[in-house]
Structure 1
Amino acid sequence: MDPVEALRELGGVAPFGELIALTSRPQILAAMAAGSILKPRHNRYCLADAGDTHRAVARTGGTASHLSAAQEFGWKLKHDPIRPCITLPRSARKPKGAYELHWADLSDRELRRNVTSRTRTVIDCARAYDFDVALSVADSALREGIVDRDDLLLAAARSPRTGRAKALRVAREASHLRANPFETCLYVIALTVLGLSVVPQGRVPGIGFVDLLDRILGIVIEAESLEHHWTKAGLQRDVDRYTAAARLGLVVVRFTWTEVMFHPEDVAAAIADVVRWRTVQAVGRHALVA
């Protein structure tokens, strides 16, 4: 896989171990030489457009915020910001240039560091963006381990009234258990399916942890990446794992990154069909007769 595409699938940023699993060392070196990916620090690779934020901060005199701040922290995102996200003091004039601009009161620390705080960044994203984009940011923040869910809940409760309900929803649903935006976005889709109740990283005896698990209906939902499945050994692990699931009476539904990111309606429809038939099996045919 091309390193740029690999980084997009991995959330825009990744250590060498994650990136090499989807591509090769010569491809990584070639992409770095071409300037399409960057290595901002040891064992950290990112897409080249992440560097636009520093130039935007210098030109506007503002502070990196929202998705750009999340990039600065090295968090995995559903997608990179289309334009650099900059927050300006309320008294500042609108600068020239293609930026995603916001105005707010900024702390001295944020002004000195040219980036909004971690907790504020999560809440800003929750108030500004769609649920799946914002939850991907929140999950990444929790995985980093510097802020916790209580920090987010408190900040959400204290946030401005406009967008507060969105911020509270993100804070309540945020979890460090989801490994990346791929799993987060699959979880968000699952939340839209009536009759389904999933937990992330559910443990199944004899199988281990699965991405999403509905224990009542016996449904396993997996976010499938090439990272673990493109070798003979990976194929054998798949066969063993899903045979074991079938022997336990579980239904396993698997989706690719492309399906989850670009065809969420199809993913939701497929899950809904499985939920419908598992409900029929669980409570009898007459339960779903309209």
Structure 2
Amino acid sequence: MDLSDLHLPYGVASWAQLRGLGVTQSRLRRACEDGDLRLLRRGWYATRSANTSVAAAVAAGGVVSCVSALKLHGVWIPPGPRKMHIRGREAAHRSGAHRYCKQYAPPEREVDAVDGIRTALRHALKCLDEEGIVVVCDSILHQQMLERSDLDEVFIGAPRRIRRLLDRCDPGAESGTETMVRCRLRALGMRVRVQHRITGVGRVDLLVGDRLIIEIDSVEYHDRSPEQIEKDRRRDEEAARLGYVTLRFSYRRVVHEWAQAEATVLDLVRRREHVKQLAG
């Protein structure tokens, strides 16, 4: 049996998974002798092309979980320290090591080298702040990875203050930065609509009050095409003609310079720029 014929996510698998795929002990031994597989720790193996970070997490005594697993699954993750989040077996937690992520429940049995979305999210509930939790849940809902009922189940066992965050989630949010701005403005008492459609303009990321449009870049400015930039400028021009005020916040502005951006929004709101009568 050629190992390349096996479907091994991230190139890392347990002996139980290999056995389930038809690998015999003799084939496993030959693969290790030939260098096609290497032992990471008891019962876990990596191929020659295994994902380096995933293999390192398993070799360290756990599996990839929490925000690291969510990111591998394509969930939008708030910016933070670049470290691998792993969870350990029950024995690992008893060892007193502090590098393992935990959940609001006893440790679960390891199944895959990278946890599924449900398990990863349960652990992220203890690693992320409240805004971060809403960000990842918005991303999961928007991409239809899970439904709201699934999230209700995942949140079982979490403190009430964490469970109540589900009421702040919105599947309409198209990016994490959009969620971040929405949460921050609503926390200031502003009425914010998500992905609101304006005749002649189209959908806008956020509409504060009646006429303050806020568009948010989910990536750095230089990653946007000239065509997209020109399209955005034309949209802003049409919105101005109709009497709307438009603010555009870059990824950097939202993530690293929010205090200044927030001050701009507050100044406009204090001047009632968000509720003035629109042009006919």
Q: What's the TM-score, normalizing by structure 1?
A: 0.66
1:180 and 2:181 aligned? no
State the Cα deviation string for residues 85-114 of structure 1 (Å, max 9, x = none): 122234434477x93543753444xx1213
Alignment of 1:73-152 (within 5 A): 73-79=73-79, 82-92=82-92, 93-94=94-95, 99-102=99-102, 105-108=106-109, 111-152=110-151
Instruction: From 241, 244, 254, give the equivalent of 1:250.
Output: 244
Letter in 1 for 2:68: S
**Higher helix share goes to which structure?**
1
Alignment of 1:162-177 (within 5 A): 164-169=160-165, 171-177=166-172
% identical aligned pairs: 23
Are the equivalent residues in 2 in contact too, given 1:65–1:85 (CA < 8 A)?
Answer: yes
Give 1:229 shift: 5.7
Unaligned segments of structure 2, at least 5 residues: 1-50
Q: How far apart in 1 are the matches of 2:181 and 2:268?
A: 15
1:160 and 2:158 aligned? yes
Q: How far apart in 1 are the matches of 2:73 and 2:275?
A: 47
**Cα separation, partners in 2 of 1:267 and 1:53, compared to 1, 3 Å:** farther
Q: How far apart in 2 are the matches of 1:197 and 1:280?
A: 10
Unaligned segments of structure 1, at least 5 residues: 1-49, 284-290
Q: How far apart in 2 are the matches of 1:126 and 1:187?
A: 20
SS at 2:135's partner residue?
helix
Are the equivalent residues in 2 in contact too, given 1:192–1:268 (CA < 8 A)?
Answer: no
Q: How far apart in 1 are the matches of 2:233 and 2:78?
A: 29
Structure 2 match to 1:222? 215
Structure 2 match to 1:190? 185
Q: How far apart in 1 are the matches of 2:162 and 2:172?
A: 21
Alignment of 1:15-94 (within 5 A): 51-60=52-61, 62-79=62-79, 82-92=82-92, 93-94=94-95
Q: How far apart in 2 are the matches of 1:90 and 1:179?
A: 37
Q: How far apart in 2 are the matches of 1:167 and 1:54?
A: 33
Q: How far apart in 2 are the matches of 1:227 and 1:211?
A: 20
Q: How far apart in 2 are the matches of 1:51 and 1:199?
A: 42
Structure 2 match to 1:275? 269
**Cα separation, partners in 2 of 1:51 and 1:203, compared to 1, 3 Å:** farther
State the number of aligned residues. Answer: 223
State the Cα deviation string for residues 220-273 of structure 1 (Å, max 9, x = none): 111135378652x44542332112212222111111111100112222221111
State the Cα deviation string for residues 196-234 of structure 1 (Å, max 9, x = none): 1112211111111111113x4321111135378652x44
Letter in 2 for 1:160: A
Q: How far apart in 2 are the matches of 1:144 and 1:229?
A: 21
**Cα separation, partners in 2 of 1:155 and 1:112, compared to 1, 3 Å:** closer
SS at 1:83's partner residue?
coil
Please tell me whether Structure 1 or Structure 2 has the larger radius of gyration of its CA atoms.
2
Q: How far apart in 1 are the matches of 2:263 and 2:95?
A: 44
Q: How far apart in 1 are the matches of 2:134 and 2:269?
A: 24
**Cα separation, partners in 2 of 1:279 and 1:245, compared to 1, 3 Å:** closer
Are the equivalent residues in 2 in contact too, given 1:53–1:68 (CA < 8 A)?
Answer: no
